[in-house]
Amino acid sequence: MADEVLFDFLHMELVSYIHQSCSKEENSKDISISRLESIGFRVGQSLIERFTKDSARFKDELDTMKFICKEFWNAIYKKQVDNLRTNHQGVYVLQDNRFKFLTQISNGKQYMESAPKYLAFPCGLLRGALSNLGVNCIVTAEVSAMPACKFQIQIQRA
Amino acid sequence: MADEVLFDFLHMELVSYIHQSCSKEENSKDISISRLESIGFRVGQSLIERFTKDSARFKDELDTMKFICKEFWNAIYKKQVDNLRTNHQGVYVLQDNRFKFLTQISNGKQYMESAPKYLAFPCGLLRGALSNLGVNCIVTAEVSAMPACKFQIQIQRA
């Protein structure tokens, strides 16, 4: 439990630090989101190397996604993804009905607008992990009703 | 294990991000150290609240320090402090013979100069935790031989 809050608190402070430190720049919102995303990307790259060092090679893309939804999600957020969908044309949607970083902020509709800054690092994590598994993609997140969240992964074919 | 590396990797990226983002400012080294320290301070404050919410009140300052050396250290670094000394006049020295964040960088003497940036966040953590326990202090860290590290806590009496 201690570990878990350690990571959570550090992430919260990171978000608030980057938000503040970008506040004087033009397009500060976009810049801070993009910086959080890049930090997430690098952390995701490192993490997936550690997590998969004893794993067998994944069969295919779907197999990779299943690993992400189960082991990867569980290691980071202490729960699995609730739902995985794909259109079989390179789009995957991972739905988490109680996304950890959103359960920490208030539930009211008026807080929805602060959700994106808590989703940038997780989007980066996902993109970094997949990139190290050979899957190049764009990851976006969408909140319909707090604290549920959908991560959309769009595969970028070469 | 997963949690542990999660925090470690995030800390590493935080250090490198802050280091880079301050690099254009005057006294960039001091500024980045002080920013890392403040982030540590706030994380330390939050952590200690969580860790002590079911604890009895501490008997005295030494009792508080013992808690820090055992439970607090163990929760964050997965080991206890190896040695605690005090001059009984408001100075405490916590020695960790294998400080976690220093074991991640190379051992050679030429790397000693990069040690301070990995010690700023931990110093802040310590100061934040103690501050929330009613102990105002200054915390500094010193490396004699990698990866051993001494944290000196100087109590500030009102």
| Residue numbers in A near B17 (CB within 8 A) | 18, 35, 39
Mean pLDDT of A56-66: 93
* Tens-binned pLDDT, residue by residue, of chain B (158 aa): 566 789 999 999 999 999 988 888 888 888 999 999 999 999 999 999 999 988 888 999 999 999 999 999 999 999 999 999 999 999 999 999 999 999 877 767 777 788 899 999 999 999 999 999 999 999 999 998 888 999 999 999 87
Indicate the average pLDDT of chain B: 91
pLDDT tens by residue, A110-140? 777 888 999 999 999 999 999 999 999 999 9
In the block, which residue shows the tokens 């991972």? A94
- CATH number, position B16: 3.30.1380.20
Closest partner CB to A50 (pick from B5, B47, B75):
B5
Nearest residue to B133 (alpha-carbon basis) of B70, B77, B78, B55: B55
Residues 6 or more apart in contact with residue B118 via CB below 8 angstroms: B15, B101, B102, B104, B105
> Is A41 exposed, middle or buried, given 0-12, 13-18 or 19+ CB atoms closer than 10 A?
buried
CA geometry: angle B86, B87, B93, nearest 5 deg: 35
> Is A9 exposed, middle or buried, given 0-12, 13-18 or 19+ CB atoms closer than 10 A?
buried
Segments forming the whole domain that contains residue A41: 2-155
Task: Report yes or no: A111 at the B interface, CB cutoff 8 Å.
Answer: no
CA A94, distance to chain mean position in Å, is: 10
Number of domains in chain B: 1
3-state secondary structure of B39: helix
Task: Report yes or no: B6 at the A interface, CB cutoff 8 Å.
Answer: yes
